[in-house]
Amino acid sequence: MANGGGMSVRSTRSINIGLRNIVATILILLGLVFVWQIRGTLMLTFAAVILVVLFTMPVRLLVDRFKMHRVFAILISVIGFFVILGVIGMPVLRTIANQYEPLRSAVERGFEQVSASFTREALIEQNSIFRDVILIIDDLTADGDNAQPIDDFIGQALTQVTDAVGRLGGSVLPVVGGVANTILSALIIFFLSMYLLAEPALYVDGIIKLTPIWYRGRMRNILRRLDSTLRAWLSVTLVSMLLVAFLTGAGLWLAEIREEAFALGVLAGLLSFIPNFGPVVALIPSVAVAIVEAPHNVIWVVVIIYGVSFLQSQLLSPILASERMNMPAISILLGQIIFGFFFGFLGLMLAVPLSACVAVLVDEIYIKDVLGDRELQAQPEDEAAAEPPAMQEVPAPELP
């Protein structure tokens, strides 16, 4: 009877454990579905957090060094941000507005000229190599009832290229087709950042209170590291954008694009905020301006845009990121693919800081706390022996 009673107790416990696991799995799935449904709001909130970190960088300087009141420091930081944004944004908008019609007509003429230069007769006249290749293709396609002239092949290829270029603008910059949604998202990000900037301690303490009491010290450390990671990313990004703007503007000026060199350089610097994909967008207006002002230097414009992009992505950003953020280049590209797929254009823009924050959370929570690998933590051995690191209380992070 005792054995039967023990077996029934064990079976009851196993059933309870199984039910708890099922309930936990259902709750996790429901949580993932909920997160997926509000993913747009989460991305806007993350963008607002980044904007707050950007605003608080000069705020800390004004408060700590010049002993300025925090409210006045915030006002100076926010107003200065929009003044700088307007100063560098107006030339770009003015250039785009003034050059829109000439650029559109020039691009249409350019496509017509390309189509005319890729006919059978034009290719034969340009080079003897083209003549030999065309004769070989004619011999290969001359047999059979479904023979197709070389001009048809060239026309189909040009049509496919034109369609691909047309789709590129809509896929890379979907905000163009949704100006109202873009403005609304920008307003949401701005007001969220203002709320977060007004009372940062309230939200930091709220996040810490959501964790168990024994883990709150570790959570403060994690929040502090996330804050320093975002600040490091912002500093790296700002330096990289300035260098891209200067090098692109100087290169375009040397390519005889004098009037719009500054505006196009600023635009290239702003678009370098999106690694790997920003240069594709910056290339379109630069080539369009070159077609109007310096058609003989169009190839050099392409070389300048992609050369500066290569210098940024392969030399400048990896060096700066490895020193400040310890992020390999492959993680940036994978982060863009993953976050761009799940969160759209905003996820593509914020892929680098998202990847950096995910790396910090994996390192702090999974590697150090779950796996117990704390070799990277700089802690005195006597303190670590006296108290587990997860139980230690640390001073609150310096709030912006």
pLDDT tens track for 14-27: 777 778 888 888 98
Whole-model pTM above 0.95?
no
With tokens 């010290």, the residue in question is 217
The structure tokens 């290569």 sit at 310
Within 127-178, where are the H helices? 128-141, 150-172
Judge residue 128's burial from the number of C-beta atoms within 10 Å of its C-beta, 0-12 exposed, 13-18 middle, 19 or more buried: exposed
| Separation CA 162–CA 378 (nearest Å) | 57
Interatomic CA distance for residues 95 and 384, integer angstroms = 61
Q: Give the Cα separation of 239 and 325 in Å (integer).
A: 14
Q: What is the C-alpha separation between 390 and 138, in angstroms, rounded? A: 76
Q: Flag the least confident range among 22-26, 98-102, 311-315.
A: 98-102
Q: Where are the domains of the chain?
A: 1-37, 38-117+148-391
For 322-364, write each residue's pLDDT tens digit.
666 667 767 777 888 888 888 887 888 888 889 889 989 998 9
Averaging pLDDT over each range in 5-9, 206-210, 295-299, 306-310, which range is the top one? Answer: 206-210
Show the tokens assigned to 56.
Answer: 């608080």
